[in-house]
Amino acid sequence: MVTEPEFRSVSVEELLGRPLNDVEKKVKVDTLFVEGSLKIPLPCPKVSIIGSRKASLQGIENAQRLAKTLIENQVVIVSGLAEGIDTAGHETAIKMNGKTIAVLGTPLNKTFPAKNFELQQEIMKNHLAVSQFPVDYPTNKKDFVIRNKTMALISDASVIVEAGKSSGSLHQGWETLRLGRPLFIWESVVNNKELDWPQEMMNYGAMKLSDPIDVLEVLPTRFEMIDVFQ
């Protein structure tokens, strides 16, 4: 009989190292399962890089450029292990000897998409993977939307690099705004006349991003960062 792995469980409060405010408490889940070497509580700024699974070449390049800037300033990259923009964020962080967190829509003992199995294993060994779903939980499509809300909760800011009208990233965008966290939308997306949602989000406080360095201006004090990156 194959024994399924057991993963460490923590609360959102333990993961972030602080109590939650009333708005955050409405979003949080009771238990998060974690695997990896990244220090808990997470001691440094964390930024979600999110966007289309079927990203354009320019979208991938923008995600890489953003991740590179953040890693150079010792910010942890958060994303959802999906194809496209998510994968670009994770892989750039790893390539640059930075740190990354994958927030999964599956249990930690499952991988979606399957092609990212090795990437997930690398993150679970040398970075941090987080899931709110217990081992062997039967994954549903809606779980990835739920995952996006949790990703917004544990991130200090989120950046939508590229996304269409029906992208799951929009769920995280709106959740980020509800939480009162900074939300950036890449300039080319804002300027896309075929999309209505960027302006709708900007009406509620989202910001247009033309230079990745601007993200650093909204992040909390970068305390204890050196401990994470040593």
pLDDT digits (tens, 9 = 90+) for 57-99: 999 999 999 999 999 999 999 999 999 999 999 999 999 999 9
Separation CA 79–CA 103 (nearest Å)? 6
| Model pTM score | 0.92
Query: Tokens 């609360």 sit at which residue?
Result: 11
User: Mean pLDDT throughout 205-230?
Assistant: 78
How high does pLDDT run on average in the chain? Answer: 92
**Per-residue model confidence (pLDDT) at position 224:** 45
Residue 5 has pLDDT above 90, yes or no: no
- Per-residue pLDDT band for 226 (boundaries 50, 70, 90) equals very low
Q: Give φ, ψ of 206 to 5 degrees.
A: -65, 155
**Per-residue model confidence (pLDDT) at position 121:** 98
In this structure, are residues 133 and 139 in contact, taking their beta carbons and an 8 Å threshold?
yes
In this structure, are residues 133 and 143 in contact, taking their beta carbons and an 8 Å threshold?
yes
**Per-residue model confidence (pLDDT) at position 83:** 95
Q: Which amino acid is at 89?
A: G
In this structure, are residues 15 and 30 in contact, taking their beta carbons and an 8 Å threshold?
no
Separation CA 225–CA 215 (nearest Å)? 17
In this structure, are residues 94 and 127 in contact, taking their beta carbons and an 8 Å threshold?
yes
Q: Which fold would CATH assign to domain 9-220?
A: Rossmann fold (3.40.50)
**Per-residue model confidence (pLDDT) at position 4:** 58
User: Mean pLDDT throughout 143-170?
Assistant: 93
**Per-residue model confidence (pLDDT) at position 1:** 38
Residue 227 has pLDDT above 80, yes or no: no
Give the distance from CA 131 to its chain's centroid: 12
User: Mean pLDDT throughout 170-185?
Assistant: 97
Domain limits, the chain: 9-220
In this structure, are residues 45 and 156 in contact, taking their beta carbons and an 8 Å threshold?
yes
Higher pLDDT pick, 5 / 155? 155
> What are the structure tokens assigned to 164, written together?
């269409």
**Per-residue model confidence (pLDDT) at position 225:** 45
**Per-residue model confidence (pLDDT) at position 193:** 92
**Per-residue model confidence (pLDDT) at position 86:** 97
| pLDDT cut 70: percent of the chain above it | 93
